[in-house]
Structure 1
């Protein structure tokens, strides 16, 4: 019998595979189905060890080890399915997802999600006269979206290649865990002949001004090294094996 998380995994593979590529209509239909299915996933479906969610109070590295635990469920050249577990009061720093789609479903606790979208000043400048307002190298104009509080009872959050592609995630009121579906994965992308790296950012104060958007505020993000308060350990996935239809071997 196919379990819920196996159905999620198989549908994610179908939705995001690049060869053969789905038509736009088929992709949208698969994506919507995946989104709805993902919204029903719980810690029980993942067979998540609740010792990993034990609340020891505010994070203390000498007692708790890494602030974040990573668990990989499945990965191929087109999609990664994983779980992040955040201890009380820790964060996934502000980071990007270059050219990626993503679905984030909280399965335990609550998180705050602050998302941003990069602004292409080269394109926008031709439309709004901003050609003279480009910031310095390593500094990127962005639209800052409304901060969200997301609980296990809430639907999944979206990101896509051009919208809400940069975000920072904090645990709230205790440990939190969320299931991530990302496509394409980070790392080498042989199809495009590129390395898909994760970059970190910080919002900075500035006098850069531009018209405000209806769904957010214009800000500047500066590229920074990996923050020193962020590192991960890893735990093994103990749930049902995920693979394509007819493939129960996973990755």
Structure 2
């Protein structure tokens, strides 16, 4: 078996031994650490990628990002490469052009491992405040919002360590913005499944000060935001690609 095959094959075999369709019992810390170590060592070539390709970058640069021009940002095509999917976990790769965005969304009752393979990616993630703090907003945009606390807000640049989010910590509700052309290997366990209550929901975040009157929080108000559910963005464009890395021995 070649080194390339053993790298991704080893990740697959560890996931197969470790994860279950229900997500319970939770993976032992030793298994999580071992999987992170394997992912930390993986390179773009190990999954059939050549690394950053500026000629195929359709973005407009981070300086062109506009918080209120979300459709234009989401319209940049993101390549989705499916490596493996089963009842217990999903392995996939997202290839981003500069400035493309996967908007704020959740991973209900899921654990997600994310490894930046090349390039730079901005990650912003929240966790729900417990017990739930929910209010109904007033005015023309009357809606229900729920309080969340900022868990991560940083740029990851390859080579870097693997990020892990858990069902209730680590930034379970997060968004990705490509600072440069980049690729991310994701392992989701258990995978999305609507029948099991694991449906992907999208959100928009509002500053705490927008609706915070009378709701006390610990720490700085800037660490909190109100999240409202939105429909799946029409302009979110995931373009199916072809995984060209070593085939898995299932």
Alignment of 1:14-163 (within 5 A): 14-18=17-21, 27-48=28-49, 54-58=55-59, 67-122=77-132, 134-136=134-136, 138-163=144-169
How does the TM-score come out when normalised to structure 2? 0.80
CA shift, 1:144, in A, is: 1.2
Who is 2:13 aligned against? 10
What corresponds to 2:223 in structure 1? Answer: 217
Count residues with an aligned counterpart: 224
Structure 1: tracts of 5 or more residues without a match: 123-132, 243-247
2-side partners of 1:230 and 1:19: how far apart?
A: 29
CA distance in 1 between counterparts of 2:151 and 2:23 reads 34
Residue 215 of structure 1 and its aligned partner are, at CA, apart by: 11
The Cα offsets for residues 126-163 of structure 1, whole Å up to 9 and x where unpaired, read as: xxxxxxx6312642110012411101111011100101
TM superposition score normalised by structure 1:
0.79
Shift of 1:120: 2.3
1:204 and 2:168 correspond: no
**Alpha carbons 2:23, 2:110 under 8 Å: kept:** no
For residues 20 and 50 of structure 1, the distance between their equivalents in structure 2, rounded to whole angstroms, comes to 33
Offset of residue 14 of structure 1: 1.6
Structure 1 residues 223-232 or 52-61, which shifts more?
52-61
Contact 1:79 1:184 in 2 (8 A): yes
Unmatched segments (≥5 aa) in structure 2: 62-70, 137-142
